[in-house]
Amino acid sequence: MTQYREILRLHSQGISQRNIALSCACSRNTVSKIIQRAEELGIAWPLERELTDGELRQRLFAESAQISSRKYPDYEYIHKEMAKSGVTLSLLWNEYCEQCRSSQEIPLMYSQFCHHYQQYTLKSNATMRIQRKPGEQIEVDWAGQTASIIDRDTGEIVTLYVFVGVLSYSQYAYVEAFPSQDQESWITAHIHMYQAFGGSTRILIPDNLKTGVVKATRHEPVINKVYHEMAEHYNTAVIPARVRKPKDKPNVEGSVGVVSTWVLAALRHLQCFSAAELNRAIREKLEILNAKPFQKKEGSRRSVFMAEEKPYLLALPATPYEMAVWKTATVQFNYHISLEKMHYSVPYEYIKHRVDVRMTRAAVEVFYQNSRVCSHPRLHGKPGQYSTVEAHMPENHKRFIQWNGQRFISWAEQVGPYTSSTVQAILSSHKVEQQGYRSCMALLKLADKHGVSRLEAACARALSYTPRPNFQSIKTILTTGQDRLQDPSITDETSPSSSSESHGFVRGADYYGRG
């Protein structure tokens, strides 16, 4: 702004117009014009002490100031409208132009409209209110001051970290203590905060901590995958504060100090033995803080929240967000991935491919290039368990997995009753039924080489020898042709009586009697 008073003061001291222009940072033409105009009006130094540069300018150039024929808007009304969600200066300017056209008046250009509104907010000292629309944003952070509890068993002091969330418009706060600052605590704090507020906001402003932001850049910060998923569940957008820019989240920064004084410091003499007990005490103090009247305006955090902000919060989803952990794994040659010593099958086409895995307490989901491949119920308990889906197997493996004892028995019954009895004997001879599957398969495959009738006869002969025949004995009978005997249950070459009746001493008595 031109320094009218200073120009006249320096001129009265005999300083050249060139030096006056250098001193007051203006052009020589401006200095010459002001001095000439003051001489015409008889205005000379010294001036009245209360006279400002603006008033002096009005005296010097009153007749040159033309009264604008344009209609000025009601900036008090505009300021109130700007506090509503979704309302912008561009929208209000369009509505103002429509009103001027209907009343046949000339509106201000958009640049002048914005300029005058900015001047109004500066005068009313309310520039920050533009950014605090009801239900628009929540600011979250960990408090610098920690809390503590006492371990019942050891008497040790255990440190707890305090989460603070603040609604930017009403400054209504939420506080909770956690045993660590890990991702599970961070996500759980947000879930509890949304439940306490009874809704979510369109914008979530965290600090650049690793549990929220993977990579903090000025233009495109990379949001943590789990944090982003949680934000999508609650229909909100994560916009991190800039690095080393605490003014991007001034409400939570200020509330951290208030919480430290009115909540944590107020509980400094209280001895708690669990996090739940401490959080109950924190909630009691927080109720008092939120109900405490503002010092410089009417109402309290709670009254402003209930009357002006809560109606604008987004409705919560039907179910709270379920905490999920993302990991990466490589599909092994047995088409399974290993997670926390448990094994989950993946379609065999993805063998040796790297996949993303989303793990919740109840389920495990596998993704390849952002497309879900499969899911499993999450395994708990003894390590080394397998969750295998038959559809994930190659065709030859599917045939093997479909084997069971009843299938082998049914297959054997198609050959004959003796074969069926033999298969049942083989299966029952093992402690674990699956141990006999290979023997049963090999036994039934003998029908392909020797024929069904011979296999049935061989099983009949084997059962005449022992009630528990095995595969090798059946194979030996078929190889030696013993199955070709017509009545294996009667004919027994190993019986001594049949040997004496069928055969005599071939050499005769004379052979043995020769002296």
Q: 180 with 308, same domain?
A: yes
The answer on 305 and 333 residing in a single domain is no
pLDDT, tens digit, 9 for 90 and up, residues 91-101: 899 999 999 98
Higher per-residue confidence, 61 vs 489: 61
For residue 296, is it within any domain? yes
Q: Which of 354, 357, 352 lies closest to 342 in space, CA to CA?
A: 357
Residue 499 pLDDT grade (very low, low, confident, very high; cuts 50, 70, 90): very low
Domain assignment present for 119 = yes
143 and 257 both lie in a single domain:
yes
Collapse the DSSP code of 411 into the 3-class scheme (helix H, G, I; strand E, B; otherwise coil) and give the result.
helix
**Residue 66 belongs to some domain of the structure:** no
Q: What is the pLDDT of residues 64-81, one digit of tens each?
A: 544 456 788 888 888 888
**Which has more confidence, 345 or 497?**
345
Looking at the fold, whether 34 and 101 belong to one and the same domain comes out as no
What residue spans of 241-357 are helical by DSSP H? 250-259, 275-291, 301-304
Same domain as 287, residue 190: yes
Task: Summarize the confidence of residues 137-146 as an average pLDDT.
Answer: 88
pLDDT at 493: 42
Examine residue 317 and state whether it is found in any structural domain, yes or no.
Answer: no
**Residue 433 shares a structural domain with residue 461:** yes
In the listed set 377, 395, 413, which residue is the last one of a domain according to the structure?
395
* pLDDT computed for residue 192 by the predictor: 94
pLDDT in tens, 17-30: 888 888 888 888 88
- Mark which of 395, 427, 455 sits at the end of a domain: 395
Strand partners, 356: 328, 367
Q: Are residues 193 and 286 in the same domain?
A: yes
pLDDT category at 216 given cuts 50, 70, 90 is: low
pLDDT band at 501, cuts 50/70/90? very low
Give the separation between CA 368 and CA 387, rounded to whole angstroms: 19
Residues 197 and 275 occupy one common structural domain: yes
Asked if residue 407 and residue 365 are part of one domain, the reply reads no
Q: Are residues 356 and 422 located together in one domain of the fold?
A: no
> How many domains, in total, are found in the chain?
5
Please give the mean pLDDT across all residues of the chain. 82
Q: How much is the average pLDDT of 112-117? A: 88
pLDDT tens-digit map of 357-386: 999 888 999 999 989 999 999 998 888 888
| 361 assigned to some structural domain | yes
The pLDDT score that the predictor gives to residue 25 is 82
Q: Residue 221 in contact with residue 215, Cβ under 8 Å?
A: yes
Look at residue 508 in the predicted model and tell me its pLDDT.
52
Query: Residue range 272-291: average pLDDT?
Result: 91
Q: Is residue 149 part of a domain?
A: yes
Cα within 13 Å of Cα(423), Cβ side: 29
Give pLDDT, residue 416. 92
Domain boundary among 113, 131, 149: 131
Q: Write out the H or E segment, with its range, that includes residue 11.
A: helix 4-12
In angstroms, the Cα distances linking 184 to 178, 190, 358, 513 are 10, 10, 14, 103
Residue range 306-358, pLDDT digits in tens = 998 999 999 999 988 888 888 999 999 889 999 988 999 999 999 999 999 99
Q: Is the pLDDT of residue 47 over 60?
A: yes
Do 173 and 300 have their domain in common?
yes
- Distance, in Å, from the CA atom of 272 to the CA atom of 448, rounded to the nearest integer, reads 78
Domain span including residue 212: 137-312
The two three-digit tokens of residue 196, written as one number: 């306490």
User: In Å, what is the CA distance from 247 to each residue of 83, 145, 369, 468?
Assistant: 20, 20, 38, 86
* Token reading at 105: 């008046």
pLDDT at 392 over 60: yes
pLDDT score of 487 more than 70: no
Residue 234 lies in a domain: yes
Question: Is position 505 within any domain?
Answer: no
**CATH code of the domain covering residue 155:** 3.30.420.10
Q: Which of the four pLDDT bands, split at 50, 70 and 90, describes residue 88?
A: confident
> So what's the pLDDT on residue 496?
39
Q: Are residues 147 and 93 in the same domain?
A: no
